[in-house]
Chain A
């Protein structure tokens, strides 16, 4: 142990100097571009800026106006509903697809390509196709009615309280392939020996997946969840392409609210306030989970050392 420690101490200062220098550009980018612009946005949200930034100070007036805006409240509610449905269904379908592909089926690469294809499409194309498919006059409902099922109704996309779910379905269709690819990579890392041992012990396959395999691929699951969460917060193009905000304002989402007020409505003060609230919401949602993860990692580190 000792000779190695001494060697590391000798290499110490010079090694750290080169390392820090290499990291400096990225650190500056993070401080000025990421953190700096975030702080600037928060500052703008305390002003009455319209098309251009102003330098007055009105405290929380923009936030008061924000939460008095019915459209914002609907947007937040829609983000929660969309997020819940989207993340649950995508994880479920993605996991089932990954398990299915992992069974060493014939034509595996073809199937994998087919399932991953929707992710290669932009959200705009996805939204447009699904809008046409779910339109009662042009799509599924009229086709099935003309085929004979005259009582069939599926007009969720023009119904006030169900339209956000149609947006979620389109997004699930698009993102399931990505989750499948991520979880498949994780599944491929599971040792074959585990399966052999499970077979010897007589454990049913679904139990193996649930109690043994899923904990083993936890990092892949975590990555997939974070990516999906980011998609939920960023959801804009799928809403614009599919419903344009829904009949009335029924499928509004925060990102669309912010962008509408930034550009079309020339009110960057209100948009910045909305962005800040969105940032705080996303942080509040992720923080407990990240804290739990770091505590678990620290415990593992302490246990190993």
Chain B
């Protein structure tokens, strides 16, 4: 066998050195996996990246399109021994299995220094604090079911005030239908059908019924007359959507409201970005209300970052720095303004936030209106089974009895 020439050998050696070198160099390097790949979301995560760089860190972005794909990749890498510095999850039970396996570093030091126990809402604390230790850094609070409406559509239909009860809401939808508009802009995808049902349960059924179902997983509640009314009314909403709704993306439905073709959309506060991108203003072109009446429940959802287990001191330092930067007041305002969500802390400068976000923040100060998102109360497995039942109910002519039975089976889980 002929030995490779000296030139080839030295080139190979140089290549090896070049590949190995970066591992020794960067200070406070943080590789972050997340799924914020759309225009607005990307701009939002850039705010955190800039803040981290200004604090002396090096940000390495690992964006993966699609929440499921990003979480799957994060978990695979954590288990495989090549973990990122931080990974994004929803404020939920998605990462509790990972905590149980002891594969996450805790952030108790940052939590104590910033005083999280004093200002974070209770539902969020119960998702990030497991067995007395904090394992995730919350970065925002999303409310997955605001009511967005087009001012011009409401004017055309002769609706003068925002509906304060479910009956008023149905009356408004009837008026919109009579005016020849699409009453409810809707996208027929399982997750959208799901959040519409969850919101209707919270708003029309009430926080008590909602918690009995999602938190206590009480099968008897499902068969109660109040719950059955929620199911019937939920299906009644379907008569107000247009025939092109199956499979439609959420932002296509939002554009129906933006252009005034449709009246209302029930969608999370991330929809606000679409209105703002279309240069519309709150109060003039579109309106927003979070529920029926002044004491309506405010569903809390959001995103967190977790920090995979590592004993490498440099990586631990990066993780601590990331956690501090992500929760600082200035970063919170900058990030959440671009994201459409509201900051996790109430002691921030609200002057730069738009009226809908300011309303959300004011509501957050009222602890009695806090309501945990179902993802914080049930495992992804049960959540998936419920989604299957709801989407089948929405798309088929099923009797309420059948749906009740299916929901009872699904909420039991494994």
Known: A244-B189, A264-B68, A266-B94. A50 touches B395 (CB 8 A): no
User: Is B388 within 8 A of A50, CB to CB?
Assistant: no
Contacts of A209 in B (CB 8 A): none
Interface membership of chain B positions 115-154, coded 1 if the CB is closer than 8 angstroms to chain A and 0 otherwise: 0000000000000000000000000000000000000000
Cβ of B263 under 8 Å from chain A: no
Interface membership of chain A positions 55-85, coded 1 if the CB is closer than 8 angstroms to chain B and 0 otherwise: 0000001100100111100000000000000
Interface membership of chain B positions 250-290, coded 1 if the CB is closer than 8 angstroms to chain A and 0 otherwise: 00000000000000000000000000000000000000000
Within 8 A of B (CB), among A249-296: 249-250, 260-261, 263-267, 269-270
Cα A1 to Cα B49 in complex, Å, equals: 81
Contacts of A249 in B (CB 8 A): 388, 391-392
User: Is A248 within 8 A of B394, CB to CB?
Assistant: yes
Cα A160 to Cα B243 in complex, Å, equals: 14
Contacts of A174 in B (CB 8 A): none
Closest approach, in angstroms, between the C-beta of B317 and any C-beta of chain A? 28
Known: A51-B75, A51-B98, A266-B94. A244 touches B380 (CB 8 A): no
User: Is B395 within 8 A of A247, CB to CB?
Assistant: yes
Contacts of B406 in A (CB 8 A): 70
Closest approach, in angstroms, between the C-beta of A83 and any C-beta of chain B? 23
Within 8 A of A (CB), among B138-190: 188-190
Cβ of A186 under 8 Å from chain B: no
Cα A204 to Cα B373 in complex, Å, equals: 71
User: Is B384 within 8 A of A264, CB to CB?
Assistant: yes
User: Is B71 within 8 A of A263, CB to CB?
Assistant: yes
Range for the number of chain B residues in contact with chain A:
20 to 34
Cβ of B247 under 8 Å from chain A: yes
Closest approach, in angstroms, between the C-beta of B411 and any C-beta of chain A? 14
User: Is A70 within 8 A of B244, CB to CB?
Assistant: no
Of A23-31, A89-97, A130-138, A144-152, the stretch lying at the interface with chain B is: A130-138
Cβ of B114 under 8 Å from chain A: no
Closest approach, in angstroms, between the C-beta of A37 and any C-beta of chain B? 16
Known: A70-B406, A243-B247, A249-B391. A50 touches B379 (CB 8 A): yes
Q: Is the interface of A mostly helix, strand, loop or mixed?
A: loop
Cβ of A32 under 8 Å from chain B: no
User: Is B379 within 8 A of A266, CB to CB?
Assistant: yes
Range for the number of chain A residues in contact with chain B:
20 to 34
Cβ of A48 under 8 Å from chain B: yes
Closest approach, in angstroms, between the C-beta of A10 and any C-beta of chain B? 33
Contacts of B79 in A (CB 8 A): 52
Cβ of B414 under 8 Å from chain A: yes
Cα A131 to Cα B246 in complex, Å, equals: 12
Cβ of A99 under 8 Å from chain B: no
Cβ of A177 under 8 Å from chain B: no
User: Is A266 within 8 A of B381, CB to CB?
Assistant: yes
User: Is B381 within 8 A of A131, CB to CB?
Assistant: no
Contacts of A50 in B (CB 8 A): 97, 379, 381
Q: Which of A160, A243, A267 contacts B381 (CB 8 A)?
A: A267
Contacts of A68 in B (CB 8 A): 409
Among residues of B, the one whose C-beta sits closest to the C-beta of A243 is B247
Within 8 A of B (CB), among A143-173: 158, 160
Contacts of B388 in A (CB 8 A): 69-71, 249
Contacts of A265 in B (CB 8 A): 380-381, 383-384
Cα A65 to Cα B412 in complex, Å, equals: 11
Known: A50-B379, A70-B406, A267-B414. A248 touches B384 (CB 8 A): no
Contacts of A158 in B (CB 8 A): 243, 246-247
Among residues of A, the one whose C-beta sits closest to the C-beta of B95 is A51
User: Is B392 within 8 A of A248, CB to CB?
Assistant: yes
Contact surface of A with B, Cβ cutoff 8 Å: 48, 50-52, 61-62, 65, 68-71, 131, 135-137, 158, 160, 243-245, 247-250, 260-261, 263-267, 269-270
Nearest 7 interchain pairs by C-beta: A248-B395, A51-B97, A137-B244, A265-B384, A263-B72, A264-B68, A158-B246
Contact surface of B with A, Cβ cutoff 8 Å: 68-69, 71-72, 75, 79, 94, 97-98, 100-101, 188-190, 243-244, 246-247, 379-381, 383-385, 388, 391-392, 394-396, 406, 409, 414
